[in-house]
Amino acid sequence: TQLLEQSPQFLSIQEGENLTVYCNSSSVFSSLQWYRQEPGEGPVLLVTVVTGGEVKKLKRLTFQFGDARKDSSLHITAAQPGDTGLYLCAGVVNSGYSTLTFGKGTMLLVSP
Amino acid sequence: NAGVMQNPRHLVRRRGQEARLRCSPMKGHSHVYWYRQLPEEGLKFMVYLQKENIIDESGMPKERFSAEFPKEGPSILRIQQVVRGDSAAYFCASSPGTGRREQYFGPGTRLTVT
């Protein structure tokens, strides 16, 4: 069983559309991180959320951590082709260690 | 401001050979993590090291795999007697530790076992 479930698995949209991707779990996380990964490269950290209910904005990207710290969402406004990539959420379960548990990701394709 | 460095980027080994993957963390980072990414499976944690210490190796296969992070030099992930199932992308991440949770990833080493 996957500790972190991401949905949708794949999303293909047109430039200018809005979208939301989700990261859900039955476990509580001490923190959660979002990454974007492009083919042939390593994941690039976008944001870390720590507090239940926390909302963070990064230009057109809005990240939210659920009140119970079991889920998170990423909303992209007016998507651009440069947003194309694999979006991964990763959680830290044990606050003593920082090892990350990853979801399988949402593959986003934004067409011009 | 160099990021996490990994080499080689691509490595081809025949079955039974040894693979050595190297990782140099970001400057000032003393914590290193290794992850493996298989198609359709996502990134899986393997091992967490600090200088000269293995902190958590719960994700590491019990046989053929080992990791070290010496006082001087890069972290090494070593796979002995490779098999086809070891073919994957191996990523290293580093963090400054001391309560900081962010991990910064290298570009990965793509291992192909023929």
Interface test with B, best of A58, A94, A95, A99 (most B CBs within 10 A): A99
Identity of the residue numbered B106: G
| Exposure of A14 in the CB half-sphere (CA atoms within 13 A) | 0
Q: What is the pLDDT of residue A99?
A: 80
Question: Does position A1 have pLDDT exceeding 60, yes or no?
Answer: no
| Contacts A34 to B, Cβ<8 Å | none
Q: Within an 8 Å CB–CB cutoff, is residue B53 touching chain A?
A: no
**Per-residue b or e along A40-72, where b marks 16 or more CB atoms closer than 10 Å to that residue's CB:** ebbbeebbbbbeeebeeeeeebbbbbbeebbbb
Q: What is the pLDDT of residue B40?
A: 76
CB neighbours (10 Å) of residue A100? 27
Q: What is the pLDDT of residue B90?
A: 98
Secondary structure (DSSP) of A61-74: EEEEE-TTSSEEEE
Report CB contact under 8 Å: A97, B56. Answer: yes
| Contacts B104 to A, Cβ<8 Å | 45
- Greater confidence, B72 or B99? B72
Q: What is the pLDDT of residue B11?
A: 98
State the average pLDDT for chain A: 92
Question: Does position A93 have pLDDT exceeding 80, yes or no?
Answer: no
Q: Work out the angle at residue B72's Cα, subtended by the Cα atoms of residues B69 and B74, and round it to the nearest 5 degrees.
A: 50
Most confident range, picked from A86-95, B47-56, B92-101: B47-56
